[in-house]
Structure 1
């Protein structure tokens, strides 16, 4: 009889099937990939909560395999890391989403994105850029804090309180003068988003930036991703945002959900 290998993450980490060295290496690679300017050994050990010796072995392994280069005391990601994120576009969900994001972006004249939860961040897995309006350069593989972004809040909203706490930092640092930094207030906002079925984020991540996000449902009725449109506050007043962008984003999210369900049935 074939053994059932479907286990939870917690079960795997407790089993002999879990490769600690590989997990640590991936953690180190993520830290390095997020810092093109480079990270020191001390930085990597601190950010991954690893002993210096273990972090050093992982870094030197990544250097040997070509994913990281050492420059003095800094370890920097090489272009080979981009090969990993580039493959994301070929995965089923981003591939299904891309034409929908392109159509939405072209219709509204704004940038459209798709993201999933990754720890306390959101991870961009598909994007159609019309205008660059953020100070940071967003592309597939980029990350932003989940708790203060529209897509992050949509993804957090459908979780239980216990699950939310695992994805929200204990300290909510203010990104702008409008950022919600109180956990109780954030919890009420998330509850409201769950009821409404969409999120409007107004200049909490970056002044002048407004965005709308909606959940994307998979074939099992669970939220698998969030889809959004970002725009400049000076160009899109809240009334127009609610009247035009909210319906368009929700319609695109539903269309992607239907595409996912159709693919599942066809498969």
Structure 2
């Protein structure tokens, strides 16, 4: 039995393409806060050598997935093809979108859906009635899970071992003076989310922004997606978030749970 497992593990190792992993890490080095990077920047962020980083960046440039101005590299619009491949092959965003639009119609507020990807949430669908953040949100936007309502709504329902591993490795940077930056406090906040069935964020991600999210709990008890409503803090008091926005979110997730 052990020999069989070893053979299987060896086969899986042979099937793993390390160069593809490194190439993807080069792409992921770019984000909203780092849209332009030098060769040295990429090597440092990915942990690969400058020579390897050069090869991957030159390849991406030759294939028109990246641009180079003589000093800085940046991703080109062609990179959107990679994200579109997921969106076009998945029915999840298309199924969720009408529910988000209905929530926005009912509340007059922006609503979103996101999944957990590593330690971040990634927006997969959105219905925006107005801009409520300094950073523009859209499909594909990534944000830290720990200080977002969508992230906490998903994290709170992860298995204990998964959550423990997350809390060990995550770095809780203060996005605002109100951000929870102590891990015991974050764990307590996640326990509250689980007991109340929703996550409310009061200006922890960005000053002036409040949001509430609910998990979409599958029949088997797992959670991979959450829906939220975001609003301006000056317009809706924190004490009213659940009363005003929880019913439409719960209605949407209850219906989606039966069809996804």
Deviation at 1:218, TM superposition (A): 3.3
Question: Tell me, which stretches of 5 or more residues in structure 1 are unaligned?
Answer: 1-10, 261-267
Alpha-carbon separation, structure 2, partners of 1:67 and 1:49: 21
1:74-223 equivalence runs, <5 A: 74-90=72-88, 91-168=90-167, 169-223=169-223
Within 5 Å, give how 1:12-23 maps onto structure 2. 15-23=13-21
Shift of 1:45: 1.8
Matched, 1:43 2:38: no
Deviates more, 1:162-171 or 1:198-207: 162-171
Q: Using structure 2 for the length normalisation, give the TM-score.
A: 0.89
| 133-142 or 34-43, which deviates more | 34-43
Residue 71 of structure 1 deviates from its aligned partner by 1.2
Aligned residues: 250
CA contact (8 A) 1:69 1:76 kept: yes
Q: CA deviation at 1:13?
A: 10
Report the Cα offset of residue 239 of structure 1. 3.2
User: What runs of 5+ residues in structure 2 fail to find an aligned partner?
Assistant: 1-8
Tell me the secondary structure at the aligned position of residue 29 of structure 2: helix
TM-score normalized by the length of structure 1: 0.87
Question: Structure 1 residue 202: deviation in Å?
Answer: 0.6
Alpha-carbon deviations, 1:158-205, whole Å to 9, x = none? 124442244455431111111111111101111111122110111101
Aligned-residue CA RMSD (Å):
2.0
Aligned mates of 1:85, 1:33 — CA distance in 2: 14
Go from structure 1 to structure 2 and tell me whether the alpha carbon gap of 1:26 and 1:197 turns closer, same or farther (over 3 Å shift): same
Higher mean C-alpha deviation, range 145-154 or range 12-21: 12-21
Is the CA contact (8 Å cut-off) linking 1:215 and 1:223 kept in structure 2?
yes
